[in-house]
Amino acid sequence: NAGVTQTPKFQVLKTGQSMTLQCAQDMNHNSMYWYRQDPGMGLRLIYYSASEGTTDKGEVPNGYNVSRLNKREFSLRLESAAPSQTSVYFCASNTGGTTGELFFGEGSRLTVL
């Protein structure tokens, strides 16, 4: 099983450019999440989707939008990238609920110049 697959793995953007990070899971999970990881700050939740058709803001949603395309896919969009969005982004999924084990992708490293 592939688990959680993220694309692209690396991306360099200029300030103001837009891009979409793609995430797909093949575990039939109900819930999907987008986190960002910055040195010394742990993981911070950007958006999550508890089930197909729903999305909710996390701790740091500003500057991002998400789409739960179907049960498998959850995308994260940066409409106008800023240097503060330079980070490693992780998509995760689980069966549902915050005590369910989170399964993470391998991350997408984004640099905004």
Residue 104: CB minimum distance to other proteins, A: 3
Q: Specify the residue for token string 């797909």.
A: 24
Are 72 and 18 in contact by the 8 Å Cβ rule? The answer is: no
- Which whole-number Å values give the CA distances from 102 to 25, 27, 84, 92, in the listed order? 12, 12, 26, 6
Sign, CA dihedral 72-106-93-35, equals negative
Q: Which is nearer to other proteins, 64 or 90 (CB)?
A: 90
Query: If binding is defined by CB under 8 A, does position 63 make contact with other proteins?
Result: no
Residue 46: CB minimum distance to other proteins, A: 11
Stretch that binds other proteins, among 22-30, 34-42, 70-78, 79-87 (CB under 8 A): 34-42
Query: If binding is defined by CB under 8 A, does position 98 make contact with other proteins?
Result: yes
